[in-house]
């Protein structure tokens, strides 16, 4: 017999979503184990001996796949949209494996996003204690003042959360606006846009250019490719180093 695993981890390993999303599937009564509906989080199963069904379909582990995708603006990071908008998965319609996005970029934001069915990798990238750094380019209407930059690094209270940047560098002044490169440790929902709103800066464009050591490079909007084994190796090394740093 295989070692028992938590049901939500097995569902994530099957490519049904992040562990947090799979927990919602369980509590919503959409998962059955050996024909019985399971709603209790923490339930453990033996995938080699027990049959798991989600939304009427068998939950089986596909071969691991991790993709790098350049999300265009006006594309959403969900598997389905009631409003009929284009989703990231629509850009992957020829992909045979079931995958899901790791984290999100909001509707108008663009750039690098990781898409995978590797539950362990997704969990590590999304867990706040690992603090895998993410780098963004943002174009705004007017320059950020010195004291505003310092406040961003110290942290700004906003909607019950503290929004801060690890680093921020001013770039070129162009017709597209004033360019900044921003590095985040732990990213909150609409983190950069909320910071800019706080200082009354208008965002013209927001693009994520890297996640840890993985860079967007030459991927065009809407394009994707499979991550190289060497890239996955250095990404897991970065996660491990972030984990060790957090424990110090």
Distance CA 156, CA 197 (A): 11
Distance CA 206, CA 196 (A): 11
Distance CA 11, CA 119 (A): 8
- Looking at 106, 120, 197, 246, which residue is catalytic? 106
Strand 203-211 relative to strand 110-116: parallel, antiparallel, unpaired?
parallel
Q: Decide: helix, strand or coil at residue 84.
A: coil
Distance CA 133, CA 186 (A): 7
Known catalytic residue at 80: no
Residue 244 CB-density burial (10 A; 0-12 exposed, 13-18 middle, 19+ buried): exposed
Distance CA 169, CA 181 (A): 5
Q: Annotated active-site positions, please?
A: 106
């Amino acid at each position: 017999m295989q070692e028992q695993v938590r049901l939500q981890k097995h569902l994530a390993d099957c490519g049904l979503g992040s562990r947090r999303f799979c927990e919602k599937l369980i509590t919503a009564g959409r998962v059955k184990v050996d024909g019985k509906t399971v709603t209790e989080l923490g339930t453990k199963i033996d995938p080699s001996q027990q049959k798991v069904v989600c939304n009427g379909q068998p939950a089986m582990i596909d071969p691991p796949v991790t993709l790098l995708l350049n999300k265009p603006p006006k594309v959403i990071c969900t598997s389905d949209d009631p409003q009929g908008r284009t989703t990231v998965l629509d850009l992957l319609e020829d992909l045979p494996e079931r995958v899901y996005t790791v984290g999100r970029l909001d509707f108008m934001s663009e750039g690098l996003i990781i898409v995978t069915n590797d539950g362990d990798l997704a969990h590590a990238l999304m867990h706040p204690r690992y603090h895998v750094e993410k780098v963004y380019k943002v174009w705004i209407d007017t320059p950020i003042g010195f004291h505003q930059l310092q406040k961003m690094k110290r942290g700004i209270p906003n909607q019950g959360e503290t929004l801060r940047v690890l680093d921020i560098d001013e770039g070129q002044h162009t017709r597209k606006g004033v360019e900044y490169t921003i590095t985040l440790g732990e990213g909150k929902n609409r983190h950069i846009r909320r910071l800019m709103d706080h200082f009354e800066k208008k965002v013209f464009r927001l693009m994520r250019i890297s996640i840890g050591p993985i860079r967007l490079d030459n991927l065009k909007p809407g394009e994707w490719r499979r991550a190289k084994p060497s890239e996955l190796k250095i990404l897991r090394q970065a996660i491990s180093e972030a984990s060790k740093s957090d424990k110090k």
